[in-house]
Amino acid sequence: MSTVTTPETAPAPAAAPTRPSAPRSTSSRFTEAAANYIDERTSISGVVKEFGRKIFPDHWSFMLGEVALYSFVVILLTGTFLTFFFQASMAEVVYNGSYVPLKGVEMSTAMSSTLNISFDVRGGLLIRQIHHWAALTFIAAIGIHMLRIYFTGAFRKPRELNWVIGFILFILALAEGFTGYSLPDDLLSGNGLRIIDGLIKGLPVVGTWISFLLFGGEFPGTDIVGRLYSLHILLLPAILAVMLALHLVFVVVHKHTQWSGPGQTKDNVVGSPILPMFAAKAGGFFFIVFGVIALMGTFFTINPIWNYGPYDPSPVSAGTQPDWYIGFADGALRLMPPGLEFELWNRTWSFNIIIPVLILTGFIVVVLVYPFIEAWITGDKREHHLLDRPRNAPTRTAIGVAGVLFYAALWGAASSDIIATHFQLSIEGVIHVNQALLILGPIIGYLVTKRVCLALQKKDREIALHGFESGRIVRLPGGEYIEVHQPVDEYERWKLIDYNDYQPLMIRPNARGQITAVQRFRAGLSRWFFEDRIAPVSPKELESGSGHH
Amino acid sequence: MAHDDLSGKDITAVSSAGVSHETAAPGTAVVPTETFENPGFPAHRPRVTDTDPKAEKKAERQVYTFFYLSIVGSIFAIASYMAFPIEDGDTGALRLHTMMLGLGIVLALFGLGLGAVHWSKSLMANQEGIDQRHAVRGSDETRARAVEIFKEANEESGFGRRTLVRNTLLGALVAFPLPAVVLFRGWGPQDENPVELLEHTMWEKGARLTLDPSGLPIKASDVTLGSAFHVIPEGLNESEHRLEEKAKASVLLMRLDPAKLKESPERAGWSYDGIVAYSKICTHVGCPVALYEQQTHHLLCPCHQSTFDVTEECKVIFGPAKRALPQLPIAVDGEGYLIAQSDFHEPVGPSFWERSSS
């Protein structure tokens, strides 16, 4: 490696052509000197050479992860500002700030300092609201980003581990959301913590002690806000930042996926270079995301803790709801059928808590390991850089829709009381309908989605073979009526025919002539996945098919 | 590498000794023998700004106008910060302050964002760039060298050979974080046992029932038929652990027509002339069961909709809770004030592992 460089060889290609004739401007000479100074100390030119013109493919759905990333930056910026004013203490004070209705009310320092941020610090309310909206955007964007990854099969080899990292990021985001939501120590978030306390206490063997340790004694204690604050601003963000960095490193290592298309193959990446196009677009997009979040923070009140008042274990308002992203967990508690708690061997078994906890854990574990399950079923060891259109993986898409509906039923259940009062239904009725939807929704969703996918694949086949229906009806000299089909050009056709096709696994005996149970199981899953399949159009079919109309 | 038993397709993978991902086993994927040729890129279509210098100029003007607007927004935000004070405590002023400051910031952000995106989309060269992909795995040569390095390190250290050294090292590494786990015992007070604490509340024989939150005692005669009171034990507001005690001792007091109350013989005398007192803490996960339906005599928990029937000793009639709300036995003292006969006869609030009714 040559470390001896003269200023003449420093990177300044733009200035090069003008050098012999005109004297260089001061600014270009300064840029050159500065670049040289930095490179001689950091070897940064190598990084620019390696990544400056790296290609990023372009598609709207690839921006979802960017939205998540940018809202995280907004969260860091606004959150840092808030830490300068927030006091994570549960010491009782008498509120004496600007908000008149709460003057003279006893509350924790946490609550009182949050009110001060909202009413006595200029711009404090704005920043607080931007912070909360950014957090909601962050979690929503991660969720939608995960759906995009799932439905396009972007989790396949070599990206399975990055799916796991992304999943951890999602869980961390939920934890960040919940810990942050609980910090103001207002009535609503306090009730949320009360539910968490009850939930933990219901866990067998360890529950009582975990709750006791977490709250530093009996609920609510005087420790929990400070502890959540440590988690919220130190531990969780640190892990999150590391995981996020790792997530992005893997995006670089793997290079971004892309859609199949004319010129876009599994061996290349087509798009715009980081410098200047992608940097400008992504940088601009950061400010747009920030702008939209700031707009929400400006105009839409979020978490008006002054309406709720300080936490007190006795009062509660009707329509108590967690922030939306925790809703699915709350809904799971609500949907439990009555009477699921027993006393056995002098101990209390709270299955009304254990079951929902197990169901939620099972659900997220399935999400976590799905890439490995699918990889095992297909046995496909190739790298996949071309995205699947959801219709071209009908079973996967149908499973995804079933999962979404399962989540939706839990989520809807968290608002059962609001639904009942708004639409004047009985609470019992809403719960029972939701219980039915929790089971029937995914099943129906699965069946319908799979059929829709297969139908769309058939349609694609038709179009690839025979072209579009043009809507023009022509009468032939013989009196026969036909509709003229407009053939697709080769670019359009390529998008319809270039996809992965799998067959069900044929069971074969292994070297010792045995067929193992594991093999049978795998073959069964494979049949379930690939029994109904629409093969892509082959050149032969197109030849024999053309001229049919 | 032997022919394994996964599938017949592995034979192809073995013969070509997978170097890149192209030759990795496709599993049950159908690899077509004849395929269409990728038609390659369609002809590049120039944008208006590529062909029309006027349009290019216009786009350039638009981009810098966006950036100008952004600067205006930033200045506007700073000016608003100073021009719209909030110190007089008026919520209208706060709203105006937040709105003006926010609008300035939003304008600054949108100006920057839209300008940059517009610049990139209309003016920057938009020829498609192409990178070639390479298999993610390291080259055979690199991998061989990596294996070799590990072998050398193993040779030089004797990690595989000196098994006792290795195993004790691993044991020490496993053991050393354990003290950190023990340290977390300090999260809870050392001298307290949660199970004992959960079994008792502040209520005791003779403690007056007082109003939540004022702490004023309640006369039995003030509790009219059909009314409901939120109740705390006397002295709670002065208690050192006010919220902790309140989280256990909160009570709902209701007066029903005595004829409607179905009382079991064991609880005879726990109510007073149709006045009953029940724990307000839900036996599911501990929310306050604060919604009383006067007509049906049902108590509803707003968190998970567990419903309790007051006429039936608050047994659960709907929702995820299992146990009835514990009843507080009450009586009237010499001055006509309501008092507790004793503490609750069972732990209140959410279930916990060590809880048992016997």
Distance of CA A358 to the CA centre of its chain: 22
Please list every residue in chain B whose beta carbon sits closer than 8 Å to the beta carbon of residue A502. Answer: 27-30
Nearest Cβ partner for B27 among A287, A378, A540: A378
Question: Does A428 contact chain B (CB < 8 Å)?
Answer: yes
Question: Does B250 contact chain A (CB < 8 Å)?
Answer: yes
- Do B94 and B5 lie in one domain? The reply is no
- Contact criterion met (CB < 8 Å) for A348 and B97: no
Supply the DSSP string of A111-137, one letter for each residue: HHHHHHHHHTSTTHHHHHHHHHHHHHH
**Residue B173 belongs to some domain of the structure:** no
Instruction: Indicate the Cα dihedral angle A331, A336, A337, A339, nearest 10°.
Output: -130
Residue in chain B closest to A266 (alpha carbons) equals B133
Q: How far is A549 from chain B (nearest CA, A)?
A: 22
Supply the DSSP string of B217-262, one letter for each residue: B-BGGGS-TT-EEEEEETTGGGSTTHHHHHHHH-EEEEE--GGG--
Q: Write down the ipTM of this complex.
A: 0.89
Please list every residue in chain A whose beta carbon sits closer than 8 Å to the beta carbon of residue B354. Answer: 208, 347-348
pLDDT tens string, chain A, 549 residues long: the values are 334 444 444 444 444 444 455 567 888 999 999 999 999 999 999 999 999 999 999 899 999 999 999 999 999 999 999 999 999 999 999 999 999 999 999 999 999 999 999 999 999 999 999 999 999 999 999 999 999 999 999 999 999 999 999 999 999 999 999 999 999 999 999 999 999 999 999 999 999 999 999 999 998 999 999 999 999 999 999 999 999 999 999 999 999 999 999 999 999 999 999 989 999 999 999 999 999 999 999 999 999 999 999 999 888 877 777 889 999 999 999 999 888 888 888 888 989 999 999 999 999 999 999 999 999 999 999 999 999 999 999 999 999 999 999 999 999 988 888 888 889 888 888 999 999 999 999 999 999 999 999 999 999 999 998 888 888 899 999 999 988 888 888 898 898 999 989 999 888 888 888 888 888 899 999 999 999 989 888 888 888 865 444
Peptide bond into B194 cis (omega under 30): no
pLDDT value for A24: 73
Nearest Cβ partner for B133 among A119, A287, A385: A385
Question: Is B94 in contact with B80 (CB distance < 8 Å)?
Answer: no
Question: Does A103 contact chain B (CB < 8 Å)?
Answer: no
- Contact criterion met (CB < 8 Å) for A511 and B5: yes
**Residue B327 belongs to some domain of the structure:** yes
Residue in chain B closest to A311 (alpha carbons) equals B243
Average pLDDT, chain B: 88
- Contact criterion met (CB < 8 Å) for B25 and A204: no
Please list every residue in chain B whose beta carbon sits closer than 8 Å to the beta carbon of residue A340. Answer: 320, 322
- Do B332 and B201 lie in one domain? The reply is yes
Instruction: Indicate the Cα dihedral angle B216, B219, B221, B226, nearest 10°.
Output: 60
Q: What is the count of residue pairs from A and B with beta carbons less than 8 Å apart?
A: 383
CB-based burial, B131-144: b 16+ in 10 Å, e otherwise: bebebbeeeeeeee
Q: Span B343-353, mean pLDDT?
A: 91
- Do B18 and B95 lie in one domain? The reply is no
**Residue B354 belongs to some domain of the structure:** no
- Contact criterion met (CB < 8 Å) for B302 and A417: yes
Question: Is A119 in contact with A125 (CB distance < 8 Å)?
Answer: yes
- Do B210 and B106 lie in one domain? The reply is no
- Asked if residue B21 has pLDDT above 50, the reply is no
Q: Which of A58, A380, A381 to mutate to test the interface with B (most CBs of B within 10 A)?
A: A381
Residues 6+ apart with CB under 8 A from B89: A98, A99, A100, A119
Q: How far is A81 from chain B (nearest CA, A)?
A: 15
- Contact criterion met (CB < 8 Å) for B128 and A509: no
**Residue B245 belongs to some domain of the structure:** yes
Cα A55 to Cα B129: distance, rounded to the nearest angstrom: 6
Nearest Cβ partner for B42 among A333, A380, A491: A491
Q: How far is B71 from chain A (nearest CA, A)?
A: 14
Question: Does A270 contact chain B (CB < 8 Å)?
Answer: yes
Q: Span B212-216, mean pLDDT?
A: 88
> Minimal CA–CA distance to A454: which of A510, A407, A394, A535?
A394
Q: Residues 65-84, chain A: which have Cβ within 8 Å of B?
A: none
> Minimal CA–CA distance to A195: which of A98, A305, A282, A323?
A323
Its pTM stands at 0.91
Q: Which of the residue ranges A12-26, A332-346, B55-69, B302-316 would you say has the lowest mean pLDDT?
A: A12-26
Q: How many structural domains is chain B composed of?
A: 3
Cα A129 to Cα B78: distance, rounded to the nearest angstrom: 19
Question: Does B183 contact chain A (CB < 8 Å)?
Answer: no
Banded model confidence at residue B358, pLDDT cuts 50, 70, 90: low
Question: Is B96 in contact with B104 (CB distance < 8 Å)?
Answer: no
Question: Does A60 contact chain B (CB < 8 Å)?
Answer: no
- Do B216 and B310 lie in one domain? The reply is yes
Give the CA distances from residue B4 to residues A28, A506, B140, in Å, rounded to whole numbers and listed in that order. Answer: 64, 15, 22
Q: Residues 142-181, chain B: which have Cβ within 8 Å of A?
A: none
Nearest Cβ partner for A510 among B5, B103, B321: B5
pLDDT value for B23: 72
Please list every residue in chain A whose beta carbon sits closer than 8 Å to the beta carbon of residue B98. Answer: 123, 125-126, 129, 298
Give the CA distances from residue A23 to residues A6, A9, A18, A28, in Å, rounded to whole numbers and listed in that order. Answer: 19, 17, 8, 10
List the structure tokens of A194: 């009360």
Question: Is A164 in contact with A368 (CB distance < 8 Å)?
Answer: yes
Residues 6+ apart with CB under 8 A from B352: A201, A202, A207, A208, A211, A348, B194, B195, B198
- Do B106 and B206 lie in one domain? The reply is no
- Do B17 and B78 lie in one domain? The reply is no
Question: Does B100 contact chain A (CB < 8 Å)?
Answer: no
Neighbours of B288 (CB within 10 A): 25
Question: Does B39 contact chain A (CB < 8 Å)?
Answer: yes
Question: Does A521 contact chain B (CB < 8 Å)?
Answer: no
> Minimal CA–CA distance to B106: which of A301, A294, A71?
A294
**Residue B351 belongs to some domain of the structure:** no
Cα A331 to Cα A438: distance, rounded to the nearest angstrom: 10
- Contact criterion met (CB < 8 Å) for A191 and B81: no
Query: A43 in the Ramachandran plot: left (φ > 0), alpha (ψ -120 to 50) or beta?
Result: left
Please list every residue in chain B whose beta carbon sits closer than 8 Å to the beta carbon of residue A513. Answer: none
- Do B222 and B320 lie in one domain? The reply is yes
Q: How far is B155 from chain A (nearest CA, A)?
A: 31
- Do B237 and B295 lie in one domain? The reply is yes
- Do B22 and B103 lie in one domain? The reply is no
Q: Which of B84, B118, B187 to mutate to test the interface with A (most CBs of A within 10 A)?
A: B187
Q: Write out the residue range of the structural domain in which residue B224 sits.
A: 197-340
Nearest Cβ partner for B305 among A283, A427, A535: A427
- Do B65 and B110 lie in one domain? The reply is yes
Question: Does A501 contact chain B (CB < 8 Å)?
Answer: yes
User: pLDDT tens, B239-277?
Assistant: 888 899 999 999 999 998 888 888 888 888 898 888 999
- Do B18 and B93 lie in one domain? The reply is no
Burial of B248 (0-12, 13-18, 19+ CB in 10 A): buried
- Contact criterion met (CB < 8 Å) for B86 and A98: yes
pLDDT value for A23: 66
Nearest Cβ partner for B354 among A216, A347, A508: A347
Q: Residues 150-169, chain A: which have Cβ within 8 Å of B?
A: 158
CATH of the domain at B254: 2.102.10.10
For chain A, the domains span 7-51, 449-545
Nearest Cβ partner for A380 among B26, B36, B98: B26
Please list every residue in chain A whose beta carbon sits closer than 8 Å to the beta carbon of residue B291. Answer: 318
Kindly state the DSSP code that residue B116 receives in the 8-state scheme: H
Q: How far is B16 from chain A (nearest CA, A)?
A: 14
Residue in chain B closest to A540 (alpha carbons) equals B34
